[in-house]
């Protein structure tokens, strides 16, 4: 089986491809490990907490403003923010709402004005009603701006009560009592189902966050961080992943910013306002984040790399195409040369080449070069010493530029000597080493043709 050989251009292309592949592989591995670490957790709230601390350090944000600016990045629904006085609160959201029914007309009322304590009281009351009593109706009393065809419009809640449980404000003359259809807030979700109410709640999780915070907010490390891993809550999901839940606390203050050089640059080290972020974290949900997941979101980087590689190939190919252009015209004959060779005699070229082949037998065997040569008497006239030097140089040049398993062809016919190798391209720089041969050819007024694949000398017309 014939081996594949590469010329100089192919070798350069392979080197460029290999180098780019190593660089891309190195940065891909680092970026993949970084992305895998982020997706390893259910919600990388720690990253958001660090961003809040950066905002507190490089801007005039108050803690609550910094939290409100970042809270949409918090993927988990179970977290609490504490102010400096240790009062809990949640950033208000448009998703907090309830649907009420008045005369068979449903209206949606926003609950974003409720604070954490009010949401907690509301959730505790509703949970006690739907879990202990098989009730069919929960009545809601609230203030309203107008009752337009039984559609209730409320611009701002000032009074809210569920049955006898007052959540917000005091009763006034502008209130209306309706039936609760559904309610959605971080601590509880409740909705009508058949003749009863169905519900989901996370109230217990929030109470656990409160207990952990009150117990451990003074046990933070030097980075203002605390993590309490509950070993009793490890679970096995589909027997492939271990899920570990934990409660984390991060103090919110500019002094914990990742911009460690900020103080040195601006001389600011007074960060009086602070707060705390407490959240549930679940490690292990995304252990199966694979390299194919990474490629699905970063494929454009590799498209750009392929385009760049193609442009490099095109540029290198153009450069080599120009270098392959040989300025020597084929089958050319130099004009009469000043120095005519002396001591002209008849020389048998076949004997000379046969001797060269015999002397280079070891090289031919070592490089496994297939030699195609049929000795045929060919007598030419010239200076013996110069002709021997000419033929020897051409033969050695052809032998040196032949790779393993190449076929080196030597032909003698019609006063023409040809050395050729169809598997190799002689470049312009290679042929420049034959300038001495061209000098001898010109002295003897021979015809010659040096191309990318063959070297030919013709004696006579």
pLDDT tier, 242 (very low <50, low <70, confident <90, very high otherwise): low
Per-residue pLDDT for 100 more than 90? Answer: yes
Percent of the chain with pLDDT over 70: 80
**Of 280, 278, 282, whose CA–CA distance to 90 is shortest?**
278
pLDDT in tens, 358-417: 888 888 888 888 888 888 888 888 888 888 888 888 888 888 888 888 888 888 887 888
Domain 332-458: CATH architecture, name and number where available:
2-Layer Sandwich (3.30)
What pLDDT sits at residue 226? 93
pLDDT in tens, 39-78: 554 446 888 888 888 888 877 678 888 888 887 766 566 8
Per-residue pLDDT for 162 more than 90? Answer: yes
pLDDT in tens, 19-50: 888 888 888 877 777 766 655 544 468 888 88
Per-residue pLDDT for 149 more than 80? Answer: no
CA angle 115, 85, 93 (to 5 degrees): 25
Antiparallel, parallel or unpaired: β 447-450 and 88-89: unpaired
Contacts of 394 (CB under 8 A, 6+ apart): 417, 419, 434, 437, 455, 457
What pLDDT sits at residue 73? 67
Q: Taking residues 243-249, what's their average pLDDT?
A: 83
Q: Taking residues 190-199, what's their average pLDDT?
A: 83
What pLDDT sits at residue 304? 81
Q: For the chain, give the mean pLDDT.
A: 79
What pLDDT sits at residue 413? 82
Antiparallel, parallel or unpaired: β 160-162 and 139-143: antiparallel
Span(s) in the chain for CATH 3.30.565.10: 332-458
Antiparallel, parallel or unpaired: β 225-229 and 196-201: unpaired
pLDDT in tens, 435-446: 888 888 888 888
């Amino acid at each position: 089986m014939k081996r594949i050989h590469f010329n100089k251009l192919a070798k350069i292309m392979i080197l460029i491809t290999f180098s780019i592949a190593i660089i891309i592989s190195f940065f891909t591995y680092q970026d993949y490990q970084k992305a895998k670490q982020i997706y390893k957790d259910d919600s990388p709230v720690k990253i958001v907490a660090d961003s809040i601390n950066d905002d507190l350090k490089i801007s005039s944000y108050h803690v609550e403003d910094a939290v409100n600016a970042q809270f949409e990045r918090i993927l988990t629904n179970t977290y609490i923010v504490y102010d400096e006085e240790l009062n809990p609160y949640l950033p208000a959201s448009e998703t907090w709402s309830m649907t009420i029914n008045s005369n068979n007309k449903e209206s949606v009322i926003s609950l974003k004005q409720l604070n954490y304590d009010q949401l907690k009281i509301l959730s505790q009351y509703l949970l006690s009603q739907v879990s202990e009593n098989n009730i069919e109706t929960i009545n809601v009393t609230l203030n309203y701006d107008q009752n337009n065809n039984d559609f209730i419009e409320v611009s701002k809640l000032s009074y809210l009560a569920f049955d006898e449980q007052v959540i917000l404000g005091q009763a006034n003359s502008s209130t209306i009592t309706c039936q609760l259809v559904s309610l959605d807030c971080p601590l509880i979700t409740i909705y009508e189902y058949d003749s009863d109410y169905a519900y989901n709640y996370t109230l217990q999780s929030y109470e656990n966050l409160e207990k952990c915070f009150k117990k451990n907010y003074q046990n933070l490390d030097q980075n203002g961080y605390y993590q309490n891993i509950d070993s009793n809550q490890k679970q096995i999901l589909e027997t492939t992943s271990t899920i570990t839940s934990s409660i984390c606390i991060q103090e919110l203050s500019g002094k914990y910013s990742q911009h460690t050089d900020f103080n040195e640059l601006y001389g600011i080290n007074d960060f009086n306002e602070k707060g705390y972020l407490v959240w549930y974290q679940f490690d292990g949900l995304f252990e199966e984040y694979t390299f194919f997941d990474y490629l699905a979101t970063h494929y454009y980087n590799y498209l750009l790399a392929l385009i760049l590689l193609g442009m490099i190939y095109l540029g290198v190919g153009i450069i080599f195409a120009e270098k392959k252009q040989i300025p020597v015209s084929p089958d050319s004959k130099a004009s009469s040369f000043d120095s005519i060779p002396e001591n002209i005699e008849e020389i048998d070229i076949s004997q000379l080449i046969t001797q060269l082949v015999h002397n280079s037998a070891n090289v031919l065997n070592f490089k496994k070069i297939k030699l195609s040569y049929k000795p045929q008497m060919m007598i030419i006239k010239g200076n013996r010493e110069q002709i021997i030097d000419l033929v020897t140089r051409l033969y050695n040049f052809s032998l040196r530029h032949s790779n393993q398993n190449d076929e080196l062809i030597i032909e003698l016919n019609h006063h023409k000597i040809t050395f050729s190798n169809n598997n190799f391209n002689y470049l312009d720089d290679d042929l420049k080493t034959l300038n001495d041969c061209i000098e001898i050819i010109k002295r003897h007024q021979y015809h010659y043709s040096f191309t990318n694949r063959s070297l030919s000398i013709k004696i006579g017309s």
